[in-house]
Every structure is written in structure tokens, then in C-alpha cells.
């Protein structure tokens, strides 16, 4: 991603926004009297009880995430590389092995880059493709390309963005039962995960040498009718909230809210942090709030959310401010990750997803009360 800089900001502000126009011509009304595309604006999350939270978090396992999800991602994986293909296979295999039944689609394309034409592949995993509305979690799985003079040193991109992608895989695994139950209850709201290729600039960050995958997918989703037979609504309108995670995994991350229209969801992340703190679910977490600061001003950062934001999608951008000190250095590796912070954030994210999806976990009955 790219922070600051007047060039990038002016590029951001000159990108067109079509969403208000699209909404204006959408007249497909749901049974409750508002168009389904506007239900997201009135969406209410459930608040899980402490017993439900304990049940929900009983399956999350940092060591398992580390070995099964994260390690296979810590390879050189710039677009078109063998590692990039291996990581795609890893994501597809991992989600495909789960009981909830994820549909995983590929969005393959070729783009001109400073190094000539290169192949890119985004992965789109959807829990229930028949549901109109989607809570989206997103990360980029490519790593930054360093040319051959750096040979001998490998850029792992551990926070950038292997950890966020592993956190998404861990969420799908740990909440497999809950997500399956939520899907089986046939709500019109589901979970979708987007794994972007080509976030990084290959040579130097410009509007055309960056965000290859997200630019391609946002445009494609805008042009794809949704639901399938729709004539005037598209896949972007199916996104309730687009939660992008980036640069996560370093010690002591702090996040600020960047967007007014999603600030209530950002505040909910803080409320979950406080609740988990009071339940002693967060390790090395001395104060009730360490991570999520809704009132803290943070500058906007150009990242994979921008092509979606500019088309009217509501965004939560979970990127620490300041960035990790290892950002875009060879020290952004496994050794410098903070396991405790990652596990704490895993728990907060998992509760957030369940509450947003109105997915109450089954609470095991107390064996002492059993007959
Ligand atoms: Zn990067």
C-alpha cells in the first residue's frame, strides 16, 4: 500500500464515484419495504453472551494456524512466480477441506506491468453464493517483488500480508461449525473472502503499477449482475461491508477509523476488544483498549480497498498506524511477528464476524447439570 503523498491523494480524489447513481435506479424491494441493497444501512449485529463467546473461541488455535495456514504463505509469491501458484493452491485446498462448503472461484487475467505482461489470479471464496448480501474479509496474498540483485535474501512479507491471509483461513477453520449452521439457516447474508493478487507495485508505486488484483476485481464485480438474473443490481451492491486487513502481525498494533460511514462498525471492534479483555480472553493486554481507537485520526492509505471505495462500497480498513517498523524490509519475516497480538486479533475478528452474521454459537450444556 501507499501512505501519504500528494500524488496518490490527488489520484484518489479524482477517481469517480458511481454508487449514488446506481442506488438511485435500484427499485427491487424486499419484503420489509426497503430495497435489499439498502438493508446493509440498517443492519443490526447480535451481541453474543459470554458463554457464546467462550464457545465460539474454543476452537481457535494459534499453533495450528501457524503451522497449517501461515507457514505455507511465507514464501516468495510475487505475481506469476511458483510460490504465488503454491499459495493459491494452499488457500483453495484449505477452504475446500472445510465442512461449511465454501465455493472458491478464480479471477484470472493478464496485465501489462513494468516487466511486461504478467498473469494475476484473485481468489473469491463465498460461504453461500445464493445469499444476496455479503460481509467481505479481504487481504492480498502476493509479496513484493525484489529484483535479482537481492538474491540470497528472501522477502517474506510476513505482515504484508501473509498474516492477514492466515487469519482469514484460521477464522474459516475455527468457526467452521458456526459458519455451517449460519449457512444452513438460509439467511440472505453470508461471508465472502477475497484474496487479492498483485497489490504491490512491481517497480514503483503508480496508479497503474499497483493494486492489479483489486482494480480488476472491483471493475468486474461492478459489471456482474447480482443476483444472477438481476438487471439493475451488481455484485458490488451485494457487499454489506468490506473489511480489508493489511500489515498485521507486528507488536503493539493500533488502528484508527478512516471512514465516517463505517465508524459504528469500527467502534464495535473496540467494544469486542473491551468485552474480551474483561473475560480475560486477551493475553498481554493490560488495558481494556490497546488496539482499536475510533477517535484517533489516521491519514488515508491507498490500498486494495480503494477501487471498491471509489465505487461506493463501505469499507473498514484494518491497517496499523503507524505501519510496522519492518515494513518493506527483509526483516518483515516470521521471527519478528508477535504471536500474542495475532491471537488476540484473531479472537476479536472471529467474534466480529459471528456478531455481524447474527451467528450465535451453540453453547455446550454444563456437564454438572446433565442428568
Ligand atoms: Zn507491501
Read off the pLDDT of residues 154-199 as tens digits, 9 standing for 90 and up: 899 999 999 999 999 999 999 999 999 999 998 899 999 999 999 9
Does residue 7 lie within any of the structural domains? no
Burial grade of 223 (CB within 10 A; 0-12, 13-18, 19 or more): exposed
DSSP-derived letter for residue 221 is: H
Q: b or e along 75-99 (b: 16 or more beta carbons within 10 Å of the residue's beta carbon)?
A: bbbbbbbebbeebbebbbebbeebe
Taken in order 346, 64, 96, 78, the sign of the CA dihedral is positive
Read off the pLDDT of residues 90-141 as tens digits, 9 standing for 90 and up: 999 999 999 999 999 999 999 999 999 999 999 999 999 999 999 999 999 9
Does residue 24 lie within any of the structural domains? no
Specify which residues 318 forms β-bridges with: 245
Does residue 135 lie within any of the structural domains? yes
2 CA to centre of ligand 1 in angstroms: 8
Q: How many domains does the chain have?
A: 1
33 CA to centre of ligand 1 in angstroms: 44
Read off the pLDDT of residues 99-110 as tens digits, 9 standing for 90 and up: 999 999 999 999
The three cell numbers of residue 153 are 535474501
Sequence-ordered strand ranges (E) for the chain: 2-3, 103-113, 116-126, 133-140, 189-196, 239-245, 255-256, 292-293, 301-302, 315-318
Does residue 196 lie within any of the structural domains? yes
Q: Which residues are catalytic?
A: 199, 246
257 CA to centre of ligand 1 in angstroms: 20
Q: Which domain holds residue 53?
A: 36-357
d(CA 195, CA 172): 14
Does residue 27 lie within any of the structural domains? no
pLDDT confidence tier of residue 8, bands split at 50, 70 and 90:
very low
Number of other CB atoms surrounding residue 291 within 10 Å: 19
- Lowest-pLDDT choice from 43-52, 294-303, 328-337: 294-303
d(CA 235, CA 226): 5
**If you average pLDDT over residues 62-89, what whole number do you get?**
97
As a whole number, the mean pLDDT across the chain is 91
**pLDDT above 90 for 340:** yes
Specify which residues 110 forms β-bridges with: 119
Orientation of helix 263-278 relative to helix 339-356, angle to 10°: 120
351 CA to centre of ligand 1 in angstroms: 27
Provide DSSP, 137-185: EEEE-------GGGTTS----IIIIIHHHHHHHHHHHHTHHHHHHHHHT
Does residue 275 lie within any of the structural domains? yes
Q: What pLDDT shows up at residue 29? A: 52
Length of the chain: 371
Q: What pLDDT shows up at residue 209? A: 97
Q: What pLDDT shows up at residue 149? A: 64
Name the more confident of 41 and 367: 41
Residues 6+ away with beta carbon under 8 Å from 157: 77, 143, 144, 332
pLDDT confidence tier of residue 148, bands split at 50, 70 and 90:
confident
Q: Which helix (H) or strand (E) holds 353?
A: helix 339-356
pTM exceeds 0.85, yes or no: yes
Share above pLDDT 70 across residues of the chain, in percent, rounded to a whole number:
89
- What is the CATH classification number for the domain harbouring 308? 3.40.630.10
Q: What pLDDT shows up at residue 154? A: 86
Q: Mark out the alpha helices in 17-151 (DSSP H runs).
A: 19-24, 50-57, 62-64, 82-96
Does residue 28 lie within any of the structural domains? no
145 CA to centre of ligand 1 in angstroms: 10
Amino acid at each position: 500500500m501507499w501512505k501519504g503523498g500528494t500524488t496518490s491523494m490527488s489520484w484518489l480524489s479524482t477517481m469517480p464515484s458511481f454508487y449514488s447513481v446506481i442506488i438511485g435506479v435500484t427499485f427491487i424491494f424486499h419484503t420489509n419495504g426497503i430495497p435489499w441493497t439498502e438493508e446493509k444501512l440498517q443492519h443490526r449485529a447480535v451481541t453474543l453472551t459470554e458463554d457464546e463467546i467462550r464457545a465460539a473461541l474454543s476452537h481457535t488455535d494459534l499453533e495450528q494456524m501457524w503451522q497449517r495456514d501461515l507457514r505455507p504463505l511465507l514464501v516468495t509469491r510475487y505475481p506469476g512466480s511458483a510460490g504465488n501458484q503454491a499459495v493459491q493452491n494452499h488457500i483453495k485446498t484449505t477452504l475446500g477441506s472445510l465442512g461449511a462448503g465454501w465455493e472458491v472461484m478464480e479471477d484470472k487475467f493478464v496485465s501489462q506491468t513494468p516487466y511486461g505482461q504478467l498473469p494475476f489470479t484473485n481468489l473469491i471464496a463465498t460461504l453461500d453464493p445464493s445469499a444476496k448480501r455479503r460481509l467481505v474479509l479481504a487481504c492480498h496474498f502476493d509479496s513484493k517483488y525484489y529484483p535479482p540483485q537481492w538474491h540470497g535474501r528472501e522477502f517474506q512479507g510476513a505482515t504484508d500480508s501473509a498474516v492477514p491471509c492466515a487469519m482469514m483461513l484460521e477464522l474459516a477453520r475455527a468457526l467452521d461449525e458456526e459458519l455451517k449452521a449460519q449457512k444452513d439457516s438460509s439467511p440472505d447474508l453470508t461471508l465472502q473472502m477475497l484474496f487479492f493478487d498483485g497489490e504491490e507495485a512491481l517497480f514503483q508505486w503508480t496508479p497503474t503499477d499497483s493494486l492489479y488484483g483489486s482494480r480488476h476485481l472491483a471493475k468486474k464485480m461492478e459489471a456482474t449482475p447480482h443476483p444472477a438474473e438481476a438487471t439493475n443490481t451488481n455484485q458490488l451492491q451485494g457487499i454489506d461491508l468490506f473489511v480489508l486487513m493489511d500489515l498485521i502481525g507486528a507488536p503493539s498494533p493500533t488502528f484508527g477509523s478512516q471512514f465516517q460511514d463505517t465508524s459504528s462498525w469500527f467502534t464495535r471492534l473496540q467494544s469486542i476488544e473491551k468485552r474480551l479483555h474483561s473475560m480475560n480472553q486477551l493475553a498481554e493486554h493490560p488495558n481494556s483498549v490497546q488496539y482499536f481507537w475510533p477517535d484517533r485520526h489516521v491519514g488515508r492509505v491507498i490500498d486494495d480497498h480503494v477501487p471498491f471505495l471509489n465505487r461506493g462500497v463501505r469499507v473498514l480498513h484494518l491497517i496499523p498506524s503507524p505501519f510496522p517498523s519492518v515494513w518493506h524490509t527483509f526483516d518483515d519475516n516470521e521471527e519478528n511477528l508477535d504471536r500474542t497480538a495475532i491471537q488476540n486479533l484473531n479472537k476479536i475478528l472471529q467474534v466480529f464476524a459471528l456478531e455481524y452474521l447474527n451467528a450465535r454459537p451453540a453453547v455446550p450444556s454444563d456437564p454438572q447439570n446433565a442428568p
